[in-house]
A and B are shown apart, each in its own frame.
Chain A
């Protein structure tokens, strides 16, 4: 039997994990649904003529996904903080890779699927409620009510920079991997510590680009999101530097798939070297 990954053993691990945690997970999903209903209701009271605009629905979806997802991921390896649960977890006859893939399945894949399902369930219900309740109120107050519609939060946007929402989703996957790593890296207060760490990395990146790179290059600005095209201000934006397309493609590929893979690899090694 393969010591690193065996599908049947992984299946047993997934079944065991679900059976042991299903009550906690179902309650968490219920709590997310409750919070979304409260938030949608507040919005219905606050913006009665147009409570659920496209921007608002998209923002609610992604902010909710990020906050609940990060919290969920940062709690995943909470049992590894030490003591009996950690000993139990490490002693289960499955490989570190199988345990990691089980974590990724629950904390990223299944969580995201469930969140999307719950969001749309609440969204569709609340949009229907709004369309039933608010027009009457608007007529009474002589206000124009805008018919509400459920938004496709994954739809390609109309702007020219490509699928903005897709990139938001990719960023979520990467940060989710970071919070999963944080949950095993920081035994206590992992959510807070990982948030601070991610912010520090982001700050470092911003400072690196805005301070170091900008000072090394002649006055100008980046004109592509992958930092491969730079326009020189002295030439009135008509002249600049552009690296080969393959460099841009590589950077884009790494951003799409590299970070999450790298962070998952680090999590794998942390899991392997964990002592308790």
Chain B
């Protein structure tokens, strides 16, 4: 669905991507993780056709995004980190935006607004930042575009809203959709994404499905120093030592996304060795 080959991109003299290649398929929610300034938003904007690559190629549903053809734009929706929501009530947003998206589903939109507890007749001036973001997320989801890009969607959402977001997202994926969520708040994506892509300094550090991760790695808390010594990565906490170990028993454990992220950033070689074996 999205094929990126040898992507080169720089902002004036600052190189962001130097040969990044990636394939994203329909039917998945991808978590694009990375530190601030590593190029997550830049990658999403390249996919959305808002920035043009200096080299390499991007194909989204056989389209070249930079051409910004209407047939491409109606198949992709981006919820940007710093977003703009037109000064319209939700019902008017549907009236004026739905005709641009052939698969727009009004019932879905109403359902998402209900999940997010946003009244239909709310004036935009009365809405908080978080409420506006939730309206935009609802619009993006109801547009039912094959590609949905979300850049830091949980930024500015309170704890309850983050929970609502995870619930809504979990119910919206289907085999024809490819959802890419970029964030540095990895905890927000737990139990939601089915593939993790971690980028750092313009290159892919790690790219695995959740299924593969939980099959190869086990996550746990231990007081046993021997376990800590054998761990691929460990971190002391008040509850004991949080560890990531090679999953030799074949038992699936609960993925600790934040721990995995830190392990890959700080000790990638040992984690990667398990996947290369």
Contacts and interface: CB of A to CB of B under 8 A. Distances in A.
Nearest to A90: B50
Contacts, number: 72
Interface majority SS on A: helix, strand, loop or mixed?
Answer: helix
A3 B72 CA distance: 10
Given A9-B70, A93-B70, A83 B82 contact: yes
B242 to A, nearest CB: 38
Given A15-B96, A84-B84, A85-B84, A275 B70 contact: no
A84 B133 CA distance: 12
B128 interface: no
A90 B68 contact: yes
Interface string B71-85: 101101110101110
A16 B96 CA distance: 5
A82 to B, nearest CB: 10
Interface stretch (B28-36, B86-94, B203-211): B86-94
A3 B96 contact: no
Contacts of B87: 20, 23
A275 B50 contact: yes
Interface in A89-111: 90-96, 98
A1 interface: yes
A5 to B, nearest CB: 10
Contacts of B100: 9, 12, 92-94
B97 A16 contact: yes
Contacts of B17: none
Contacts of A20: 86-88, 96
**Lowest 10 CB-CB distances: which A-B pairs, in order?**
A84-B84, A93-B73, A93-B74, A88-B84, A16-B96, A93-B100, A85-B84, A3-B69, A20-B86, A84-B82
Interface of B: 45, 48-52, 68-71, 73-74, 76-78, 80, 82-84, 86-88, 92, 96-97, 99-101
